[in-house]
Structure 1
């Protein structure tokens, strides 16, 4: 499989290509490219380029889980060393002897390699080390690992290794800690193992594979010793470091096992799907054995919980259920364990495998992520997918929960459904759902009962109910089609009033198609631009049509006429929301008065409530929030006395939003909490609980309770998912992820977004691409905050390339490209950073982002000066010059930044850049300018902080680098007194500390 890499025409090009390949993640592309570069190196007929190419290829094989090929490459390197030892400088010689251990590990992982060959290789390693005058601790380390793998008495082998002094060729400290800890863990001493592991698990000792490998082993010991919260933290970070990596398949298997034994089977199934590539890409039999055993632990647990038919990801080429994949994995895992045991002459691997499979769950439930999904959720999602794609056998529709038992007989059920529907009672939906199932069943016979009416009328009822559900999901075109079909059937059934109502619903739904469905009541702003006007015009026409339909349909039953009046008022309310036009307020209130008078006259409590709700919403839209609250108070009082009780959560939600608008967060919190409490008494689809949770999250933020807000946001998203409002759900999850990031809960943020981004409809491109891009952007920022600069940069580069095509939104591209430039600069890739900032500036010219571009350019300048010193000064100053032009543009445009003023920030950065490169006079002059621009500090914290930082850096430059401590102390002492007088304690202490340091050194 040739790659697109250019064929190097010189050794310089070869070394450049090797460096480029070394940056790639381990996997098929890196391995194939390394193979090609070895072929290219052979053509130059020089030993050194070939040595480098072979080293790169062996690394690709080793960490790409291809142990069969790694020893072959090493044999070529060893031959080259024997023939041309002069071609190996000290670094290459070190690499060669280091990799004896890689070959030993590769041979252990291959059950077809006889045990005698493994021992012979260790003998070769010992002989080579002794001949080269190297210490034997690395050899004894490999001897111990072979003993542990075979299952021999490891005590002596362990002592011969662990008691020896480390050498430059010893495994890194982190890897040796792992082996020592595993020795204790295998002996059943979890506490001692965790004590040994502590430096690695805390990140104090690390390497390319650590702490990821140690974390996977430490998870169960942590739970067994009562440290479940620590296990949770390490699982999130550790899993991310090994997911989808063929070279760490065993670690993935242990994370799956951890999920299975802590009540997180649903997450385990999701992670299995994310790692489906490992079934076919792992070439190491030992890694595959460990992976398959972890998979089987998970599948056994899921099947034991009664979900054996749940679809799961497995080997390519066929569909798998939990039960069928478990049987396949068991056969393969048993076979691999038997092959190792046959080679080794022990039963160790079969025994270890059986021990893992026999473990009982350690915890009933440990909440691992913010998006905890149970097996029932996954089964329901699989059924929805089957129904949507027409694949498999979809489960029967779930009948919604009801407050009362449904009638058993069909006639009673039909009459009860219609009665509840007239009242607007939430239980009507469960009746229609049950009837829909009965009617669809083979052999259904419609009751011959005059009270029930003909079959065609029941079909119309079901269509109308389905249309209402579609409208709730904003599927207005579907709703129109279904309502019109229902109207025709009502005509056939001799029910003109119901036909008129269906046509009225179709009229309103059709008017909402251009811009979607605005929410009922409580929104405080209308849509702007042509889209809002188009919807307002459509609603004006719809209202006129509704009035004509109402007037031209005689003999309407009161409940039908009440609904028509409600639709008329709703059309005008939606028009007001779309237009924001104050002239549209009075017509809404007039229709509301008409609806309320009719409802009171006919004692239709539901429509009285609806009228008052519309009035409150109209006051809110017209910015009269106190009047809206007064109306909501009156409605709450009436509902408490007269009902209907299921309207109470909605009214409390509206009043809570209004109180948020009035900045009364405690009262809003009380209303929204009570609304959710009351909503729990009714079927889930009776109340928009997602909205209630989302509003409660906002109230929590105003009250300074961000952790509670995070909980409410995730509950809002879950409620929206249950209501099949996936876009709203993803938006709520996006807000939750951003809040996680703001709170410093980095791994929670990444785990949540990883779960969302692997959703089938996201992967299939069925979710709005800008929303998905927003999720990925937050994830990239979280990766950066979590110090995973490489992964964050890769994601930003990809997003920048994609957003370049957003012709309708160049501002977002400017922002993404600017952030990409900063990450590239942080990695030292200043040429690529310059290209990215160039693209950001081009987009900025179309949609200005003054503050973001200024921040970006100043950061690029700082990083280039800091990392390259005097050699980077010209590039840094060029970035600052561009930032200066942007500041001029912003000033001319009257732009006011949210953060620091652009001019003073720019002057400060000139000071810092010049200080980095040793131009201390220029640095001090720039800082003096910055101080003049900032001005004397006042009581505001922000300006005082900026001023104090300028003083601090000026004092440092003047007192230390320009060696003028007296002048610096005069500056610092005056600033300390000034800040003390203003009460800025933190800023004062920083400057006082520097002043004390200067006095001590004087």
Structure 2
């Protein structure tokens, strides 16, 4: 706290600000400082309010040892000066007797006799204050349930009593009743009891999050897997990183362990690592650690005990090591509680959780399902042997096989090179003295060329170019000029693809670079006689590829013929020398060229001929890519059904080959697009996430995150809000994202989508906090003020929804300033009108002046748009503005001004026609005008004339749905006459 409050007004303002903070150390420390500040004032009321805030911070910040101490001070103040406690403060004081009882139960060092004594104190105080005793019996039951004795009688004494104003909220009591039935082994009755909470009809500070965590396993045991999945996603978000809900987090970890989602469990454990050190409640810690142990035990049983795990700070943990540590600590905690309580309840409950067998082999919890193998460290192990043959018996055989496969362009060649790379890097490597193998320098050149190829696949063109040049030098040293020429040509092509810096026209620069690269390749080809046929075919393929990339870059018709000429050279040469892979490569290039030139039918004809050849002569690994291209062409021809069939088959065939060799990630991405065209968004979502995960495994992280971003947006569009949030939480927790290594704009897009999903999920507080942070960061995007304008505008609206119109005004000013540099007419107009509506709706006449300022700003934006010739994609900015003037004035009771504005809006809209959207907007404007005129201004006759005419007009145009509200309003006005 920068400076201590000097007046009581400042103190109360600071208390309100602290109340908006999330529970945790920052809020607690501030609350402690505010208590110190409150003690300077002569009157006791400020201190009482500060102590109440401090106790709340301790209670929900998982510091039960401190909560009773603060309450003791409050109770002393009440005993000394009861008149200072008004009805509200008195209610809060007696309510918090329950908080203290809860806190004492969490501390095994507090004797059981002291817990019972506190309950006696609570009963005596309630009786003296003439308060009902149901809350006391509720606490007595919870103590019995904690100890594990006499629960049936305690439950009946509590549950049979009538609730009072000081009873726990309905949601919390429902949870306690459900847990009683759950403990008795009646899953169905427990779930029936829980239903109002699980359905969101009853809620509070801790509910439904607490109930959800307990209900997950009963839902699985009764076959309600979809409901369990849905509640896991929503419930986990409610407790993540919250120390006061450590037990709930533990139960979500247990749920993951028992549903085949061990990898997600480890991910959630990492996200909540701070709980190992931040949870001060021994009881909460016991529940958390037991859930952690259930997870770690399962991972270890599956043979992954050496996986890294997030544990106590200060050292690196494996699953096995952390499990041993957790087991010791949790056993000790359970024993301490049992010793205090004189029972074995906590040890027994803990053992029951640890002895549970998995309930499902696999339940897909998120859009990013991963196995334990996927979360293993990315240390390069020995590559698997190629699938074309058994593992070679000798090093010369392995080298020969790698070169043969590479010559064929076989997808298994990279696996051979990877195995060789590991062998050569070993300190005891001894190169074979075999003329057929050649010198070590040649093998090193081969490995560099393979490494360069992999870098090029990841669009790391500068790296690839350097590696190819280094390989070329080694090939020269080995006396292999043909291989050196091919490496030089590969370097030329890679260099041409390096993005130009500071080029005025990037397209022109890249086209020039590719033209130069092609010319250099031709010279290189001419100057290198005696090329082996497969090397010469590759060189011809690169010449054609360079010109094909130039055509792709420019789209110029004049660049089509040169590509086809080079393709013809390649095809003739490959056919003459029977280089099978390059024959199909030439045909694929020809079809691609037709596609780039816009001649899709010719491209399809060429692809069909190629497919026939591939099925007859191979190579089989060319089939997935070729079918994928035909699928993309069918999409271009708007035949989504045929595209879906081709792409589905390509994905099926791709499963037979390494994913990166057949570009399976792209195939899944294209299939997702076909699914969207066919109206199959859920299927599209599966293929998008599969595409992204394949890119991620291949190391193409930027591409992967872009695809995942699209998947997140699609899931949000589909209303799968929790799926969207869970996916984005998982992505944003990736180490390179957390470390700031990924493109900051891409990360911002992920966060923006998450903030929108939080808003859609009614988590206004979290959504607003994220938007505020994004608005602050995007303010520094000098190269993209338009995006900042959009983010700041959305932030302003969320602040307005929260009633923080001062901060909303500041955000709107930021949006307007950025809009002046890079206009976003429609977004800004929508934002300003919505802010005006919110302020008018929430504040009525008191908010009219400020609301009209927002509308005046929107008017200036509309004027600018009109002057710029901008046409809105949605509603007309002018008619929408006039309508909002009408609505805002109506909220404020300025009905004549409201009616005049609505008349203007109707004039701007004009009579409706066949278009439904226009008819809907016009009808709503008529309806509001009818309400203002007929009800608020008490002039039903002209209102009815307006409404009847509108109904006739809409009915004649068959807009019956739009006419219905107008007919209902007219009927109401006639009834009131």
* TM-score (ref. length: structure 1): 0.96
Aligned partner of 2:794 among 780, 798, 819: 819
Shift of 1:131: 1.1
Tell me which moved more, 715-724 or 67-76: 715-724
* 1:475 Cα offset (Å): 1.4
**Pairing of 1:226-245 with structure 2 (within 5 A):** 226-245=223-242
2:622 matches 1:625: no
Distance (whole Å) between structure 1 residues aligned to residue 976 and residue 588 of structure 2:
73
Distance 1:597 1:942 in 2: 59
Among 730, 746, 753, the residue aligned to 2:721:
746
Which one of 530, 533, 539 corresponds to residue 508 of structure 2? Answer: 533
Match of 1:285 among 282, 286, 292: 282
1:188 matched to 2:185? yes
Partner of 1:762: 737
Q: 1:166 aligns with which of 163, 176, 199?
A: 163
CA contact (8 A) 2:62 2:281 kept: yes
8 A Cα contact 1:401 1:684, kept in partner = no
Offset of residue 434 of structure 1? 2.4
Superposition deviation, residue 573 in structure 1: 1.6
Offset from partner CA, 1:95-146 (integer Å, 9 cap, x none): 1111111111111100001111111111111111111111111111111111
Please state how far the C-alpha of 1:535 moved relative to its aligned partner.
1.8
1:528-927, aligned counterparts within 5 Å? 530-927=505-902
Q: Which moved more, 1:225-234 or 1:326-335?
A: 225-234
Matched, 1:424 2:424: no
CA-to-partner distance for each residue in 1:787-813, whole Å, 9 max, x for gaps?
000000000000000000111110000
Q: Deviations over 1:640-694 (max 9, x none)?
A: 3332221121122122212212222112111111211221222222211111111
Distance apart, 1:515 and its partner CA: 5.9
- Aligned mate of 1:36, from 33, 36, 40: 33
How far the C-alpha of 1:395 sits from its partner, in A, is 5.1
The alpha-carbon deviation at position 769 of structure 1 amounts to: 0.6
Query: Who is 1:63 aligned against?
Result: 60
> In 2, distance between residues paired with 1:997 and 1:550?
88
Q: Aligned-residue CA RMSD in angstroms? A: 1.6
The alpha-carbon deviation at position 400 of structure 1 amounts to 6.8
Q: Is the 8 A contact 2:737 2:747 kept in 1?
A: yes
Please say if residues 503 and 509 of structure 2, whose CA atoms lie closer than 8 Å, have aligned partners that are also in contact.
no
Cα distance in 2 between the residues matched to 1:789 and 1:754: 17
Shift of 1:745: 0.6
Alignment partner of 1:300 out of 297, 300, 316? 297
Cα distance, 1:586 vs structure 2: 2.7
- Give 3-state SS (helix, strand or coil) of 2:167's partner: coil
Q: Does 1:487 align with 2:472?
A: yes
Counterpart residue number, 1:519 = none
Match of 1:524 in 2: none
Please state how far the C-alpha of 1:403 moved relative to its aligned partner: 4.3
Distance 1:662 1:706 in 2: 21
C-alpha contact 2:261 2:365 (8 A) present in aligned 1: yes
Classify 1:395/1:326 alpha carbon distance in 2 versus 1 (closer, same or farther; 3 Å).
farther
- Partners of 1:194 and 1:568 lie apart in 2 by 69
**Counterparts of 2:562 and 2:199 in 1: how far apart (Å)?**
66
Structure 1: gaps of 5 or more residues: 385-393, 517-526
Match of 1:209, SS? coil
Aligned pairs, number: 977
CA distance in 2, matches of 1:252, 1:577: 51
Choose the corresponding residue for 2:493, options 490, 508, 513. Answer: 508
Give the whole-Å Cα distance in 1 for the aligned partners of 2:673 and 2:395.
Answer: 46
CA contact (8 A) 1:403 1:682 kept: no
Q: After the TM superposition, which of the residue ranges 323-332 and 486-495 deviates more from structure 2?
A: 486-495
Report the CA distance between 1:328 and its aligned residue.
0.3
| Partner Cα distance (1:395, 1:335) in 2 | 40
Indicate the residue corresponding to 2:394 in structure 1.
Answer: 409
Does residue 949 of structure 1 match 2:924?
yes
The 4+ residue runs of structure 1 with deviation greater than 4 A are none
CA contact (8 A) 2:59 2:67 kept: yes
The answer for the alignment partner of 1:208 in structure 2 is: 205
Match of 2:247 in 1: 250
Mapped contact 1:939–1:982 kept (Cα < 8 A): yes
Cα distance in 2 between the residues matched to 1:662 and 1:924: 52
Distance 2:960 2:424 in 1: 75
Q: Aligned partners of 1:730 and 1:208: how far apart in 2?
A: 35
The separation in 1 between residues aligned to 2:636 and 2:766, in whole angstroms, is 41
Cα distance in 2 between the residues matched to 1:707 and 1:763? 29
Counterpart position of 1:388: none
Query: Gaps spanning 5+ residues in structure 2: where?
Result: none
Separation in structure 2 between the aligned mates of residue 791 and residue 400 of structure 1, nearest angstrom: 50
Mark the CA change 1:991 to 1:231 in structure 2 (over 3 Å): closer, same or farther.
Answer: same
Aligned residue for 2:146?
149
User: Offset at 1:439?
Assistant: 2.6
Instruction: Describe the SS at the equivalent of 2:39.
Output: helix
- Deviation larger for 681-690 or 18-27: 681-690
1:477 equivalent to 2:423? Answer no
Residues 1:222 and 2:219 aligned together: yes
User: What SS does the corresponding residue of 2:137 show, helix, strand or coil?
Assistant: helix
Find the aligned partners of 1:406 and 1:777 in 2 and give their Cα distance. 49
Moved more, 557-566 or 283-292: 557-566
Q: Could you tell me how far apart the structure 2 residues matched to 1:515 and 1:946 are?
A: 49
C-alpha contact (below 8 Å) 1:652/1:674 kept by paired residues:
yes
TM-score (norm 2): 0.98
